[in-house]
């Protein structure tokens, strides 16, 4: 089931439907003209960054609502920064993770273990759980981890084996290596700039190589995949692919752009990059 659609884009904006709510938000990549100007009047709310951060029509929206996106049900809510609790450009990745883990699980004697780093509101964690894996969800924000727990409840996964961790990713990985904990599938979506649980500074251009080295240290002896995504300008698919090829010789790599998509007559909008290594 999918209740997300990109309805139109252009003039630096995107018009998206999330379940019953339609939103008009900034989109720097959409430099073309809107193809369906008549649709934009249907927006329930409008977010702008032109004079500070401002929602218009937010008071008419529910405090939160639900939408099922690629079979994952999520609680959505407008935040002061214009985010909603989901990045829909990652939804095709969720489906791939579910299918890959579900296919590999019957071939193993024990459940596969899936690690989601910089895990946000848990869409990929829940996709991994739906694929039958035991999951570990790591994010430095206590509020986002709580949000992800609520999403697990919405999907009937409250009692599924998921470890919910509030921590700095590099510190967590260092401890996992010492504990001997290993994972068969790993996803990481490092921020361009962020703070760890204890205020630790994370700048992707300086910290990512260390993170990847630690990721290699927690891979199992028979891993399935490592999936790397990025929303950082300049971190193209080839950049991510080169990083994974250098980190994990052998296997195969694939890469591409993450896209916001709608009907066939709607321009897809590039909204990040990805690369994955498959054993």
- How much is the pLDDT for 2? 95
How far apart (Å, rounded) are the C-alpha atoms in residues 83 and 92?
A: 19
Q: What DSSP element (H or E) covers 243?
A: helix 237-247
Mean pLDDT of 68-83: 97
Task: Report the share of the chain in percent with pLDDT over 70.
Answer: 97
Residue 156, number of CB atoms within 10 A of its CB:
12
Does pLDDT of 197 surpass 80?
A: no
Least trusted range by pLDDT, from 185-189, 203-207, 274-278: 203-207
Does pLDDT of 194 surpass 80?
A: no
How far apart (Å, rounded) are the C-alpha atoms in residues 158 and 162?
A: 8
pLDDT in tens, 113-122: 999 999 999 9
The reported pTM is 0.94
Q: Specify whether the CB–CB gap between 31 and 44 falls below 8 A.
A: no
pLDDT in tens, 240-261: 999 999 999 999 999 999 999 9
- How much is the pLDDT for 14? 98
Residue 206 — very low, low, confident or very high, per pLDDT cuts 50/70/90?
A: confident
Task: Report the share of the chain in percent with pLDDT over 90.
Answer: 90
How far apart (Å, rounded) are the C-alpha atoms in residues 132 and 153?
A: 16
- How much is the pLDDT for 257? 98
Catalogue all structural domains in the chain, each as residue range(s) with its CATH number.
4-76 (2.60.40.1180), 88-278 (3.40.50.150)
What is the average pLDDT score of the chain? 95
Does pLDDT of 266 surpass 90?
A: yes
């Amino acid at each position: 089931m999918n209740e997300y659609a990109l309805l139109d884009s252009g003039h630096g904006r995107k018009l998206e439907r999330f379940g019953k709510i339609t939103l008009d938000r900034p989109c720097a990549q959409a430099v073309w003209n809107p193809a369906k100007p008549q649709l934009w009047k249907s927006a329930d709310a409008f977010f702008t960054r032109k004079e500070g951060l401002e929602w218009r029509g937010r008071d008419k929206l529910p405090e939160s609502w639900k939408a099922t996106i690629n079979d994952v049900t999520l609680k959505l809510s407008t935040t002061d920064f214009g985010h909603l609790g989901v990045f829909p450009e990652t939804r095709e990745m969720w489906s791939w993770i579910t299918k890959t883990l579900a296919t590999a699980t019957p071939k193993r004697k024990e459940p596969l273990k899936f690690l989601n780093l910089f895990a946000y509101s848990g869409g990929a964690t829940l996709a991994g759980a739906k694929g039958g894996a035991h999951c570990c969800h790591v994010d430095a924000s206590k509020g986002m981890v709580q949000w992800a727990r609520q999403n697990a409840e919405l999907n009937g996964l409250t009692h599924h084996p998921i470890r919910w961790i509030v921590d700095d990713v590099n510190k967590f990985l260092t401890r996992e290596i010492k504990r001997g904990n290993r994972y068969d599938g790993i996803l990481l979506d490092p921020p361009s700039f962020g703070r760890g649980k204890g205020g630790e500074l994370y700048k992707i251009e300086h910290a990512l190589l260390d993170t990847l080295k630690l990721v290699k240290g927690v891979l199992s002896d028979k891993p399935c995949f490592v999936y790397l995504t990025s929303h950082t300008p300049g971190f193209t698919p080839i950049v991510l692919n080169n990083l994974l090829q250098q980190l994990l010789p052998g296997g195969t790599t694939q890469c591409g752009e993450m896209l916001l998509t709608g009907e066939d007559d709607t321009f897809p909008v590039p909204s990040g990059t990805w690369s994955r290594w498959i054993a």
